[in-house]
Amino acid sequence: MRNSTYLKMALNMLLHSKLRSWLTIIGIVIGVGSVIGIVSLGDAMQASVQSSLSDLDLTKITISPGYTQASSNMHGPPGMRESGASTDSELTKDDIAALRGLDSIQYISGEISGSEKVKYAGQTATLSITGVDPQVWKYMTTLKTQSGRLLEPADKYVAVIGSSIASETYDHDIGVNQVITINNKSVRVVGVLEEKGEGDDSRIYMPIDGALNLITDAKKDVYDTITVKARSEDLVDSLVDDIVKKLMVSRHIIQEDDRDFSVTASKSMAESVTEMLSSMTLFLGAIAAVSLLVGSVGIANTMFTSVLEKTKEIGTMKAIGAKNRDILMIFLFNSAMVGFVGGILGIMLGWIVSYGLQSMLGSDMASGGGVSPYLMIEGLALAIMIGVISGVIPAYRASKLKPVDALRYE
């Protein structure tokens, strides 16, 4: 027999067992739809995270006071610190001096931060202020201005403000060269940052010398964080190790458990987030694949039933010359067809699930939503493969039936 004959006879079997076939197909539809929906959702989440991470400076390393459990209480503005914070863990200019000798460091800067009342046009709002080193800040930051400029070395009582401060915090918009008041000190706005949708939108950046006089509990030569920019991404991992060793020596720390500072690389954070999303997608996909396994059992069951129903027909076909291979191929084509139809409908279901979930979770993911052509092809191939594998044993048993026994079957 030719392949077209196998296909025609398999289609005929499928059409003449509508209810049983469709019930079997539904199992494959749910399995393929679940896998495609979850995998495509995971892909969209990874793409969204990668897009956000692309704005990160992966050469940036942040040193914070405190270590392990203590670090969670030591981050943030000084005014928000817990009173039990040890002064021994403060970052100072001596730490910066100790690190300057590391060749892999391109720039290094100490930063202070705090929350203060900021007045503008008769209104007052409590805003986050970060004091940075104007000598190097514009080379270290990835922030860009939508108007005005970044900080310059000669600046002191000037500020670069986030986009939400400029247009949302007060009734009147704040533009370049307008003046805000922080702790009764006039500060001129020299730049407005582009919108990022993050904390930077509601933050004020100003030279550390000026910020030191405006942030209530800031202390000279004491920093809330020290920021380091490595010469390249390839040097980040080794530089983190070098920073830890250097600071432990300069701070006379012998045991690792006695460390009173934390070193965090943006590159490591980005890698951790990507790995976590990949693991989560794999885990959820594996759970969804269980339904495919259930669907494959349904196909096998349907095929065994079909073989029993058509035993006499098999005997007749063999009596008029059909070979074992012909019977085998007819049933394999039939089981593959069940997988094919289930795969097509499963892809449609998966696309609907993926689009719906991505729309619910965020517009960014929805814009890049849908199911990729590669995933569609893989889903369809998987469904057909499961159909064929599930039908192998029933088809083999059908092909081995003896004509005499088959014709006598009641």
Dihedral pair phi/psi, residue 130, rounded to 5°: -120, 125
The percentage of the chain sitting over the pLDDT mark of 70, rounded to a whole number, equals 90
The percentage of the chain sitting over the pLDDT mark of 90, rounded to a whole number, equals 27
Is the entire prediction scored with pTM above 0.75?
A: no
Q: Do residue 137 and residue 28 come from a single domain?
A: no
Residue 72 lies in a domain: no
Residues 100-129 pLDDT 10s: 889 999 999 999 999 999 999 889 999 999
Cβ neighbors of 329 (< 8 A, separation 6 or more) are: 1, 3, 6, 395
pLDDT category of residue 311 using cuts at 50, 70 and 90 = confident
Confidence at residue 212, expressed as pLDDT on a 0 to 100 scale: 92
Residue 71 lies in a domain: no
Confidence at residue 297, expressed as pLDDT on a 0 to 100 scale: 82
CB atoms within 10 A of CB 405: 11
State whether residue 324 is helix, strand or coil: helix
Dist CA 40 CA 355 (whole Å):
9
Of the two residues 133 and 54, the one the predictor is more confident about is 133
Q: Do residue 291 and residue 211 come from a single domain?
A: no
Confidence at residue 409, expressed as pLDDT on a 0 to 100 scale: 63
How many domains, in total, are found in the chain? 2
Residue 177 lies in a domain: yes
Measuring CA to CA, which residue among 250, 280, 222 is closest to residue 93? Answer: 222
Of the two residues 304 and 172, the one the predictor is more confident about is 172
Q: What is the mean pLDDT of residues 330-356?
A: 86
Q: Do residue 49 and residue 157 come from a single domain?
A: no
Q: What is the mean pLDDT of residues 386-394?
A: 87
Q: Do residue 224 and residue 160 come from a single domain?
A: yes
Q: Which domain holds residue 39?
A: 3-53+272-408
